[in-house]
Chain A
Amino acid sequence: GEDVEQSLFLSVREGDSSVINCTYTDSSSTYLYWYKQEPGAGLQLLTYIFSNMDMKQDQRLTVLLNKKDKHLSLRIADTQTGDSAIYFCAELTGGGNKLTFGTGTQLKVEL
């Protein structure tokens, strides 16, 4: 199947780290992505990781990939109120022709 699952909600305090998890099912996915969607806005590509890597760091963002368990996570260090948004993981499927998105995680950052 091509279901990509995420927990629906995450609430953190400003300054804490946030970890958003994603489980995907297509073991042939070559790339995995994290997108951010702010209210009323489009999708912004945050970062992506190639399937032969297990970690990628980009400023406050750290992506971990466990290919054996088909588990992807996004860690946001020093979470700010501006990080409040919906975060989608996505995998490249269909022979590399399309992105299949997860269900999205609503991140709420509280003061």
Chain B
Amino acid sequence: DTAVSQTPKYLVTQMGNDKSIKCEQNLGHDTMYWYKQDSKKFLKIMFSYNNKELIINETVPNRFSPKSPDKAHLNLHINSLELGDSAVYFCASSQMDVTEAFFGQGTRLTVV
């Protein structure tokens, strides 16, 4: 069983479109995250949710809106996609103390 699963794995879309990436974890964790990895492999946190509440929002444009319908899911919706949004987006989960964070396989988003 996959602990943290993201869909889709690849996403190619045109500028200006709206798209969503889904994430689910079956580890019983109470905290979920979205990270962005750029073309130079730099990893930076975007959002963190604990028990469905937003606790970290790291200066991410308003076009990005995370949604957590329950503790096991954290989806990422992106409006009006831009070329610079092309990256690999990783979902992760942990308990609140983040002793161990587990990552999904990533979603490679390409905006053309």
Contact = CB atoms under 8 A, between A and B. Distances in A.
Nearest to B108: A40
B102 A103 contact: no
A94 B97 CA distance: 11
Q: How large is the interface on B (under 10, 10 to 19, 20 to 34, 35 or more residues)?
A: 20 to 34
Contacts of B44: 101
Nearest to B102: A45
B103 A96 contact: no
A100 B46 CA distance: 11
Interface residues of A, number: 22
Interface string B6-25: 00000000000000000000
A43 interface: yes
29 contacts: A31-B99, A33-B101, A35-B103, A37-B41, A41-B106, A42-B90, A42-B104, A42-B105, A42-B106, A43-B103, A44-B103, A45-B100, A45-B101, A45-B102, A45-B103, A48-B99, A88-B43, A94-B56, A97-B55, A98-B98, A99-B45, A99-B98, A101-B42, A101-B43, A101-B44, A103-B41, A104-B41, A104-B42, A104-B43
